[in-house]
């Protein structure tokens, strides 16, 4: 089994290519994934609030990190869904399971935001 022909770049060129691919991925997610767009707007509102709150550096990092984690998990979930849909649009219990597991991961990341924010804010203001 040979290596992928797309793995040939090294050094700075590989980093530049990775950046371009990442931007394409973000553009694609924003264009095609409603949930990702909603979560980006959620992040646009909450990240500045987290940065303005008087909760200290670690609290801000936890709050911002929890929001960024939602975006990361949503991107992975969308990638899983796209790969499954590429294979087949037929209903299959394993495809459903994979999509449900990805959805559950997004849900848990959203619960994580609520828990992190509640704990940081409770520590600061109670």
Hey, which residues are catalytic here? 74
Distance CA 69, CA 22 (A): 16
**Token pair listed for 88:** 């087949």
Burial annotation 24-42 (CB, 10 A radius, 16+ → b, else e): eeeeebeeebeebeebbee
């Amino acid at each position: 089994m040979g290596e992928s022909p797309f793995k040939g770049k090294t050094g700075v060129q590989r980093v530049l290519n990775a950046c371009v691919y990442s931007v394409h991925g973000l553009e694609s997610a924003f264009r095609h994934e409603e949930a990702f767009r909603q979560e980006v707007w959620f992040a646009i509102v909450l990240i500045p609030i987290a940065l303005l709150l008087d909760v200290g550096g670690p609290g801000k990092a936890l709050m911002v990190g929890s929001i960024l984690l939602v975006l990361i998990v949503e991107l992975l979930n969308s990638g899983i869904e796209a790969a499954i849909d590429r294979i087949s649009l037929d209903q299959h219990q394993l495809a459903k399971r994979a999509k449900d597991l990805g959805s559950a991961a997004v849900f848990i990341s959203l619960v994580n935001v609520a828990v992190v924010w509640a704990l940081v804010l409770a520590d600061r203001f109670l």
